[in-house]
Amino acid sequence: VLDIPVGTAKSRLFRARRLLQDRLREFAVRTGYLEEGS
């Protein structure tokens, strides 16, 4: 499907998941779902 090495795809997915987690945590703190530092 993608014309890139498997390692590149895994690396990009890892970084994307980490970025999504960070942004979701920031959103949850801003909206009161989580307390700061959770």
Amino acid of residue 8: T
pLDDT of 32 reads 95
- In total, how many domains does the chain have? 1
Domain assignment of residue 37, yes or no: no
| Domain around 5 | 1-30
5-33 confidence digits (pLDDT tens): 999 999 999 999 999 999 999 999 999 99
Q: Are the beta carbons of 36 and 29 closer than 8 angstroms?
A: yes
Question: 24: part of which helix (H) or strand (E)?
Answer: helix 6-31
pLDDT of 17 reads 99
**Residue 2 pLDDT > 90:** no
The residue written with tokens 């890139």 in the block is 4
**Residue 37 pLDDT > 90:** no
